[in-house]
Amino acid sequence: MPAPKAFATAILLSLLAAAVPAKAQTPLPPEGIQIGLSTDNVSITAGFSGADLTIFGSLENPDPLVARQGRYDVIVVLEGPPRPVVVRRKDRVLGVWVNLDSETFENVPMSYSVATTRPLQDITEPNSYKQLSLGASNLYMQPADAGDSPATIEEFTAALRDRKSATGLYSENVGGVQFLSQNLFRATVRLAPNVPVGTHKARAFLFKSGLFIKESSAQLEIRKSGFEQSIFRVAHDYSFLYGVFAISLAMITGWLGRLVFRKD
Amino acid sequence: MGIYLPIAEISVNVFVLLAMGAAVGFLSGMFGVGGGFLITPLLIFYNIPPAIAVATGANQVIASSFSGVLSHMKRGTLDFKLGGVLLAGGIVGSTGGIYVFAFLRRLGQLDLFISLLYVVLLGTVGGLMLVESVNALRATRSGAAPALKKSGQHNWIHRLPLKMRFRASKLFVSVIPVLGLGAGIGFLSSIMGVGGGFIMVPALIYLLKVPTNVVIGTSLFQIIFTSAYTTLVHATTNQTVDVVLAFLLMAGGVAGAQYGAKAGQRLRGEQLRALLALLVLAVAIRLAIDLFVTPPNLYSLSGADLN
């Protein structure tokens, strides 16, 4: 039966013919990653007790084979605004615990929430995390006084990360990124109850079989709203009037209290 | 019921704060003190940051002092001139205190300094009061008449220059110790968030020999202005006055104070002073323990001003 065989060969050839030149002329478009936020600002009220923020994203031109084998990994980071931070260490002086040594760091992200498809150590090498400065333990904390001994700086950097993790400001959500389809993924990052207000940066990193491919980012404004926030703003923007108000409130309360509860 | 404090930036229970205010108000009405020296440590025990506890404590003191001054004005037991001179000193002391406060905050030593001041002052005042009141209690029990005050006796303070006459207090005394006393109280007010009545009252009686009946009214009068000034300066330089917190404490406080004053009339002076002394000592001991116990975290973070 030569005819069917020839037919099959022809198909194979034509497939090859289609594939080979395509690879040579226009290589497979590179994979990319995009994330989208449903809103570019989030208002949290006074009673905010922490929440999960969902970020959707998609892979561009994923290789179906790689995707099926689950060799794409995504890490999403929500990084809070950078501020200078002082880390202080208490030591005993004559039995009393006193803040003695301190180290100031510049541009420390106030918060740093990570969501990943798998545990960080399974995605790629520690070195590439370092190069990307990705993950709370790889963030470079720049000391304000570079003249301090490396051991001291290391100790205070570790304490800084530890305190931030303890208060939930630096968090890691393993499995927080899930693929909904070959292209679409959903990342859940945690917002701590004391999440700082300001401009947060959401960044997504795409890895393919342990290799970093691409990064994409978006900005998110977190602000507080409500009555308490108005008080906070007045206290900072109109501090003199606020002080006068506080004093008047005290006097009126004192006077009213005497009227209402007078016993003499 | 939880409420979020806008400046302290933490959630607290409304009823705990109202009860705290009422309890301190009751005691302050009973003993005739402002209660700032109890409010501030209590707030610190309740995890309010010390800087906010101090500034808000000063704000709360205004309410209870104002309420008290109104009754003293009515009774005429208030020496405005003496209060005015004390106040002049108070403003100077308070201004200095605010600078020291901001400086210590930058150094990261504010919390320690506040605790140490409280331990030393409350320990001393409480200890002295306890000894004095126990002696008085013993004396009355053994039937001996209480020692009469030697009113004619003058001490070194009365030999200082720049004398001034205070008619309502029947006093002719140098302004130097009066200004100095005012300044000292002003300093404490801005650093500790207290009115300073617990130091002012004995100082006026024992050092300046001001007649007891005008002492409390005059002391309260000057405390209103010193703590109002302290509140204003804390509000403008440190933004640490929390009106929501202050209001809850005041509301509980003014109610408690009136009942406390009534209860106080049923107890004898020495018993009252002994009780107050024990209370003051208890607060001092509690604060002292915190200084010596190993903290759960040796490291702490705070914002820095690099500019």
Q: What pLDDT is stored for residue A250 in this prediction?
A: 92
Write out residues in chain B with pLDDT < 70, as ranges.
32, 34, 143-159, 304-307
**Comparing C-alpha atoms, which of A85, A92, A82 is closest to residue A156?**
A85
CB-nearest to B295 from A90, A232, A244 is A90
Under a CB-based contact definition with an 8 Å cutoff, are residues B263 and A259 in contact? no
Please indicate whether, in this complex, the C-beta atoms of A162 and B295 are within 8 angstroms of each other: no
**Comparing C-alpha atoms, which of A205, A201, A203 is closest to residue A80?**
A201
Length of chain B as a residue count: 307
Confidence of residue A249 (pLDDT cuts 50, 70, 90): very high
Q: What pLDDT is stored for residue B18 in this prediction?
A: 92
Strands A41-44 and A211-224: parallel
Mean pLDDT in chain A? 81
User: Residue range A119-141: average pLDDT?
Assistant: 84
Instruction: Tell which wins on pLDDT, A145 or A242.
Output: A242
CB-nearest to A255 from B67, B234, B294 is B67
Domain boundaries, chain B: 6-140+156-292
Pairwise CA distance, residues B294 & B292, whole Å: 6
Instruction: Tell which wins on pLDDT, A61 or B29.
Output: A61
Rounded to a whole number of angstroms, the distance between the first and last alpha carbons of chain A is 120
Q: What pLDDT is stored for residue A244 in this prediction?
A: 94
Work out the minimum CA distance from B230 to partner chain A, whole angstroms. Answer: 10
Give the residue ranges of DSSP H helices in A195-238: 227-237
pTM: 0.74
Q: What pLDDT is stored for residue A243 in this prediction?
A: 92
Q: What pLDDT is stored for residue B155 in this prediction?
A: 65
Residue A247: exposed, middle, or buried by beta-carbon count in 10 A (0-12, 13-18, 19+)? buried
Q: Which two tokens stand for residue B208?
A: 């300046």
Under a CB-based contact definition with an 8 Å cutoff, are residues B162 and B176 in contact? yes
Pairwise CA distance, residues A242 & A245, whole Å: 5
Q: List CB contacts of B100: < 8 A, sequence separation 6 or more.
A: B187, B190, B191
Three-state secondary structure call for residue B235? helix
The count of C-alpha atoms lying within 13 angstroms of the C-alpha of A149, restricted to the half-sphere facing its C-beta, is 4
**Residue A99 β-bridge partners:** A90
Under a CB-based contact definition with an 8 Å cutoff, are residues A114 and A171 in contact? yes
ipTM of the complex: 0.81
A18 has a pLDDT exceeding 80: no
Q: What pLDDT is stored for residue B249 in this prediction?
A: 92
Question: Which residues numbered 172-231 in A keep a CB inside 8 Å of some CB on B?
Answer: 194, 228-229, 231
Least confident of A155-164, A204-213, B187-196, B258-267: B258-267
Please indicate whether, in this complex, the C-beta atoms of A255 and B66 are within 8 angstroms of each other: yes
Please indicate whether, in this complex, the C-beta atoms of A91 and B233 are within 8 angstroms of each other: no
Q: What pLDDT is stored for residue B15 in this prediction?
A: 92
If you measure CA to CA, which chain A residue comes closest to B230?
A243
Q: What pLDDT is stored for residue A46 in this prediction?
A: 67
Q: What pLDDT is stored for residue B226 in this prediction?
A: 85
Q: What pLDDT is stored for residue A262 in this prediction?
A: 67
Pairwise CA distance, residues A170 & A191, whole Å: 9
* Percent of chain A whose predicted confidence (pLDDT) is above 90: 11
Pairwise CA distance, residues B253 & B256, whole Å: 5
Instruction: Please spell the DSSP secondary structure of B117-143, one letter per residue.
Output: HHHHHHHHHHHHHHHHHHHHHHHHHTT
Please indicate whether, in this complex, the C-beta atoms of A46 and B246 are within 8 angstroms of each other: no
Domains present along chain A, CATH in parentheses: 24-224 (2.60.40.2550), 226-256 (no CATH)
CB-nearest to B247 from A85, A244, A249 is A249
Q: What pLDDT is stored for residue A10 in this prediction?
A: 45
Please indicate whether, in this complex, the C-beta atoms of A231 and B7 are within 8 angstroms of each other: yes
**Residue A109 β-bridge partners:** A82
User: Residue range A199-215: average pLDDT?
Assistant: 89
Pairwise CA distance, residues B15 & B32, whole Å: 24
